Homo-oligomer: A and B are copies of this chain.
Amino acid sequence: MWVIENQQYLGEVDTWSRAEQFGDGVFETLLVSDGVSRALSLHAKRLQLGLRSLQISPPAQNLQDMLSGYVDNMVEYSGLRNGVLKVMVSRAKSARGYGYEDQAEPCIAVFFSPYQPPKSGFYEQGIDVQMCSTQCSIQQQLAGLKHLNRLENVLAKSELQSDCFEGLMGNYLGLVIEGTMSNVFFEKGDALYTPELSLSGVAGIMRSLIMAHCRRKGIALHITHIKMNALAQFDSAFVCNSVMGLLPIKKIKDKPMAIGKLTRQLQMAIRSGEIYA
């Protein structure tokens, strides 16, 4: 095919990135602290699940070793020991059209960026959160995966008002799903609640770590459908992801929230590293 890119005629080109044409791939975002990433095995496991679900040939026999190698390389190349590593694995390039060749070699792009953590006050006093009008799509085959079709997150993020650090997204069925770049948990009495993600959303690594921690510690955790219009029942809530950890919510829309006992307990477990046990 003949290609013009940004006004420049490139001549005849056989193939073009399928990540760019279709978002045909998955990605992982890892926190690197003092030269290491502490949740490599979970990231590798989710990456493997994503590749298998999309029928993309894995780029390495051992994905955990691959991720670990990228962490080491980037720490060396950049001279930074703290940052965020993003690894995108997409299906091989192809010409126009949805079809693809089996067994084609996948493409990998890896970015390493300095990390600017949220203000420390956000961890202590909590953040304001708004409700986004952009929905999470309902798509059972893709739900849970961290795939490259992320337009809805882009649109939801663009809705955020300057005083809101994060926004919550629901789906067409009126269920709360997640934040624009995080998962969400709610606290009531002695239990935690987090949205079930079989229809929509990304199953985050910090969410998995928190789930495992709750199992180990005997903390009641309900993974369930939570209606957008039923948030008033909860006393406390927080958002989390692998990079920023856990941020308590001090206000959802106009409703003030208290910072819960379990929320603080989990925050400590992340700070101490116990969460990665």
Which A residues are within 8 Å of any B CB, using their own CB? 1-7, 9, 16-24, 27, 29, 54-55, 70, 73-74, 77-78, 84, 86, 88, 90-91, 95-100, 107-113, 133-142, 147-158, 171-172, 180-181, 199
Known contacts being A1-B113, A77-B9, A108-B5, is A139 close to B150, with CB within 8 Å? no
Inter-chain CA distance A6–B134, complex, in Å, is 34
Evaluate contact between B5 and A151: CB separation under 8 angstroms. no
Residues of the B chain whose Cβ atoms lie less than 8 Å from the Cβ of A97: 181
Known contacts being A141-B134, A147-B151, is A20 close to B158, with CB within 8 Å? no
Smallest distance from the beta carbon of A95 to chain B beta carbons, Å? Answer: 6
Evaluate contact between A20 and B154: CB separation under 8 angstroms. no
Evaluate contact between A96 and B113: CB separation under 8 angstroms. yes
Residues of the B chain whose Cβ atoms lie less than 8 Å from the Cβ of A96: 29, 84, 86, 111, 113
Inter-chain CA distance A157–B150, complex, in Å, is 20
Q: Looking at the complex, which one of B109, B137, B157, B172 makes contact with A16 (CB distance below 8 Å)?
A: B109
Measured CB to CB, the nearest residue on chain B to A160 is B99
Inter-chain CA distance A136–B139, complex, in Å, is 7
Inter-chain CA distance A147–B135, complex, in Å, is 16
Measured CB to CB, the nearest residue on chain B to A73 is B4
Evaluate contact between B23 and A150: CB separation under 8 angstroms. yes
Evaluate contact between B151 and A24: CB separation under 8 angstroms. yes
Q: 11 A-B pairs, CB-CB below 8 angstroms?
A: A2-B77, A4-B70, A4-B110, A5-B109, A21-B27, A22-B149, A55-B155, A98-B157, A134-B141, A137-B139, A139-B152
